[in-house]
Amino acid sequence: MTQLPDSMGRFGDFGGKFVPEALQAALSELAEEFTKAASDPTFAHELHRLQRDYSGRPTPITVAENFSKQCGNATIYLKREDLNHTGAHKINNVLGQALLTKRMGKTRVIAETGAGQHGVATATAAALLGLECRVYMGEVDTQRQALNVARMQLLGAEVIAVAAGSRTLKDAMNEAMREWVSTVETTHYLIGTVGGPHPFPWLVRELQRVISTEARAQMIADHGGLPDHVAACVGGGSNAIGMFADFIDDPSVALHGFEAAGEGIDTTRHAATITAGRPGVLHGARTYVLQDEDGQTIDSHSISAGLDYPGVGPEHAWLASSGRATYEPVTDAEAMTAFRALTRTEGIIPAIESAHAVAGAQRLGLRLAQEQPDLRPKILVCLSGRGDKDVGTAFEWFKMSGRPDAVVGGTE
């Protein structure tokens, strides 16, 4: 199973390289360079050093004992990717690709970003490694996320608003790809997810694999063995593929991806690509796509910007069609309920993306308690990021006033 993708970048019927000929040489170079790097101890050593000394790996597993009480008979284990530098798993991928950029003798990176998390991570790695950095961001997103625009600029990156198409993440990806066609000699496209043309889905998986490599060893060493279930949220799917990778060959471990159902999959406002999309080609790969009858991409919606994407990494499409992993939708409302529950019971504010996985794990725990009441299942959840960035959204969702609960010490 882990032999995939094949040499053409295919995962069964999914994946591949549906890109202009002008990019084929760069993609081949990237695949060759990563193959060499992967077996080069110097590269592995440098990456490991950065993961440990810069990003703070290994990240711990926290047993969510309080929250587990709301999850039937299950015990919830949280893989704490939120404790990484920059607050999410994104840094795992970015550090690896930035090192690869230097290895290829390139001096500049470009990236796409939705809400800005991948853009900030890319700008961070670029600052650290002395690379020029340009981030493409949908115009709508630059307006919604002005603080992240400022963060990227503070880090020395140039932020370009994309005013084409729907002016969101998918258009930022188009623009980055479009720029890359003309700057490929000096520039690496540092893609943020396990989507896009080969070799990106493979390369990003290998860089995110560290999540499951660590978690699998931690579960065995500290928590009595393999988990029964592994859960992660899926937008493009990079944290999920990293969380699944080393468990794919463990047949006793069930894999669960949770997609953003937005306002519900029976509405037009969701991002549940596998649940409600159909196979097609988007951003260079064959995968599940939210599309109309003609094959035009439909705008997605999720309260979580990181899951608001109308495609999904091709390996997830393959895992879904082969049945090795199952994918279920989680609505905005379910995610926000879990967001608050985890915050209150564990003192951990999850990213709203990760809250989808938390909600899914809770639903799974409750379902198992009904179906198999004798089981005491262990559910390992990828807590892919921290929720500091989402306080504004929570403020609106929970209709908070921002007023203190009381005032003391006044003399008037």
Partner 1 sequence: MSRFADVDRLGISGKVLAAAVDEGRAALVAYLPLGYPSVDDSVAAFRALTDGVGADVVEIGVPYSDPVLDGEVIQHATTKALRRGVRVRDAFLAAEAVASGGRTPVVMTYWNLVEQYGADRFARDLAAAGGAGVVTPDLTPDQADEWIAASDAHGLDRIFLVAPSSSEERLAMTMRACRGWVYATSVMGVTGTRTQTSDAAPVIVDRARRADPSLPVGVGLGVSNADQAAEVAAYADAVIVGSALLKCLASDGADMPGDLDRLRGLVDKLAEGVRRGRG
* CB environment 121-141: b (16+ within 10 A), e (fewer): bbbbbbbebebebbbbbbbbb
* Min CB(309)–partner 1 separation in Å: 12
Tally of CB atoms within 10 A around 6: 12
Burial of 5 (0-12, 13-18, 19+ CB in 10 A): buried
Rule CB under 8 A: is residue 295 a binding residue for partner 1?
yes
Stretch that binds partner 1, among 130-138, 165-173, 313-321, 354-362 (CB under 8 A): 165-173
- The CA-atom distances, in angstroms, between 266 and each of 94, 262, 272, 297, 331 are 36, 10, 10, 18, 11
Stretch that binds partner 1, among 142-150, 180-188, 332-340, 369-377 (CB under 8 A): 180-188
Q: Which of 90, 106, 378, 389 is catalytic?
A: 90
Per the annotation, the verdict on 112 as an active-site residue is yes
Stretch that binds partner 1, among 77-85, 232-240, 291-299, 381-389 (CB under 8 A): 291-299
Alpha helices per DSSP H over 87-209:
90-103, 117-129, 139-144, 146-154, 169-183, 200-208
Angle, alpha carbons 323-324-328 (nearest 5°): 70
- The CA-atom distances, in angstroms, between 37 and each of 99, 101, 199, 338 are 10, 11, 14, 40
Rule CB under 8 A: is residue 406 a binding residue for partner 1?
no
Stretch that binds partner 1, among 109-117, 126-134, 210-218, 280-288 (CB under 8 A): 280-288
* Min CB(245)–partner 1 separation in Å: 25
* Min CB(290)–partner 1 separation in Å: 11
Q: Which of 112, 206, 346, 353 is catalytic?
A: 112
Partners of residue 379 on adjacent β-strands: 76, 229
Rule CB under 8 A: is residue 186 a binding residue for partner 1?
no
Site string for partner 1, 16-45 (x = CB under 8 A): xxxxxxxxxxx-x-----------------
Nearer to partner 1, 171 or 353 (CB): 171
Nearer to partner 1, 127 or 281 (CB): 281
Nearer to partner 1, 177 or 248 (CB): 177
Tokens (6 digits) for 378: 């262990």
Tally of CB atoms within 10 A around 53: 9
Tokens (6 digits) for 92: 């795992």
What radius of gyration, in Å, describes the C-alpha atoms of the chain? 20
Per the annotation, the verdict on 90 as an active-site residue is yes
Which residue from 2, 3, 39, 182 is in contact with partner 1, where contact means CB under 8 A?
182
Which residue from 184, 215, 253, 335 is in contact with partner 1, where contact means CB under 8 A?
184
Binding site for partner 1 (CB under 8 A): 8, 16-26, 28, 164-166, 170-171, 174, 177-178, 181-182, 184-185, 280-284, 289, 291, 293-297
Residues marked as catalytic: 90, 112, 384
